[in-house]
Amino acid sequence: MRNAPTILHLDMDAFFASAEQASKPSLRGKAVVVGGLGPRGVVATCSYEARVFGVHSAMPMAQARRLAPNAAYLVPRFGFYRSISEQVMALLRALSPLVEPLSLDEAFVDLEAGEAAWDEASARLAGAKLRTDIRAVTGLTGSVGLAASKMLAKIASEQAKPDGLVLIEPGTERALLGPMSVRILPGVGPTTGDHLRRAGISTVDELAEAGEDELVRLLGKAHGHGLYAMALAHDERPVVAERETKSVSVEDTYDVDIHDRVRVGTEVQRLADRCVRRLRGAGLSGRTIVLKVRRYDFSTLTRSETLRGPTDDPGVVREAAARLLESVDTTGGVRLLGVGVSGLADFTQEDLFAQAAGELAALELVEEAEHEAVEDQEAPAERHWTTGHDVRHGDFGHGWVQGSGLGRVTVRFETPEAEQPGRVRTFRTDDPALEPADPLPLVSTGPRRPEGVGPDQESSEPASLPKSWSGNGGGGAKSRP
């Protein structure tokens, strides 16, 4: 482990929910929950205002509604979040060539590799500047952790939440980790945590005191050695710029259990085609086909079959998935299905069971169009408006859908730069003046002109940050709620 705290971990604060609040003035300071709104939807992210009520990510949406009935519930806009993420990742890559994204809102950065920091003082300055730049470019906040290893940098960013910066000084790691729960360490999930707790090990100090031999006996050689090293604050994992894709998969959760065996088979075939399209889009092929089935009682089964060589042929993947389904009992009903391909390669090997490519390609296009139009087929007379998504009206301009049903859609007309909530109007779902729209940027791309300076005058003053800018001075840590 290096001596200087030059590993940075960035975690955007309540990313999806914060993006929605920044985009919608009427939701600022309010409880916002983003996720699937169906009967089996789960919370993807919620605002800090919603967390006060006990709502958290991965919670069933039905439970979240019981805890916070007055919160705003929105369907995710992943394209919008991805565009913001790209802006943030560009700022990180300006700091160093070694950036390891973990998700849309989280990444590690090796500051030393980019010569952006080499000691405690320069690391703190780099972290503070990054937070300011993120706010100026996206209008959102991120929490920064700085330490001498990836594990400690991530722990530091958790302590910094929300909107703060924490640096763990070299030499203080053991004292910091000691009283923490073993769950803070990478690789300790609910199962391992329970196993350790039954052995009388609940804190990192107790983990270290148990000794390496005891941990190997309890958890196995590889896991035991690794956890003992981390309990001593030793983490030699490097920041890896290119993370190898290990598998490509797709899955669907159904609002109502599927009991019809023919329908289950049709869904598996459709998922196989979607998986192959994603596989081909990444320029990959794979040898192992995986089927995932979650049954009515929440039991989850996986079946796999390894082919003689890698393939990206939809016919091959379809047939393998169908064979795997034959070994699964779906009598009681199915709530989730998934198809994946692993053992990836960047080449293909012709398979004897391949189907006619032209015929399958045509089927793919037809089935994709049919699947995307399912809701329209069920209610052909009513256009579908997704809660939280952007729309534009010919008379009232840009807005977002607050809700729809019974032939009506309610829209709040407001834009990110507005300081007050916008007006609400209700329309027929088939109103010809209402149409879907792309999200607006959270921060204006043009420079702001200081007051009193005309369009033909120059000013030596820098463009101001958004009026809603706030921070903790760029270097101090805030306590996590």
Residues carrying an active site annotation = 106
Query: Is residue 422 within 8 Å of 115, Cβ to Cβ?
Result: no
DSSP assignment of 172-226 equals -HHHHHTTSBGGGSTT--HHHHHHHHHTT--BHHHHHHH-HHHHHHHH-HHHHHH
Q: Edge to edge, what strands does the sheet with 300-311 contain?
A: 247-258, 334-345, 285-295, 300-311
Cα–Cα distance, 377 to 373 (Å, whole number):
6
- A 10 A CB-CB count for 395 gives 8
CB 481 within 8 A of CB 160: no
Pairing of strands 390-393, 434-436: antiparallel
Angle at 16 between CA 183 and CA 163, to 5 degrees: 65
Q: What phi, psi does 284 have (nearest 5°)?
A: -120, 165
Tokens linked to 304: 């796999």
Strand partners, 399: 391
Q: Which residue has the tokens 């007055």?
A: 70
- Residues ≥6 apart with Cβ < 8 Å to 203: 178, 179, 180, 181, 182
DSSP-derived 3-state class of residue 436:
strand
Could you tell me the maximum CA-CA distance found in the chain, to the nearest angstrom? 76
Q: What are phi and psi of 164, to 5 degrees?
A: -140, -175
Element (H, E) at 158: helix 150-160
Phi, psi torsion values for 336, nearest 5 degrees = -150, 140
For 286, list phi and psi in degrees, rounded to 5: -155, 160
| 3-state SS, residue 408 | strand
3-state DSSP assignment of residue 265: helix
How far is it, in rounded angstroms, from Cα 358 to Cα 54? 52
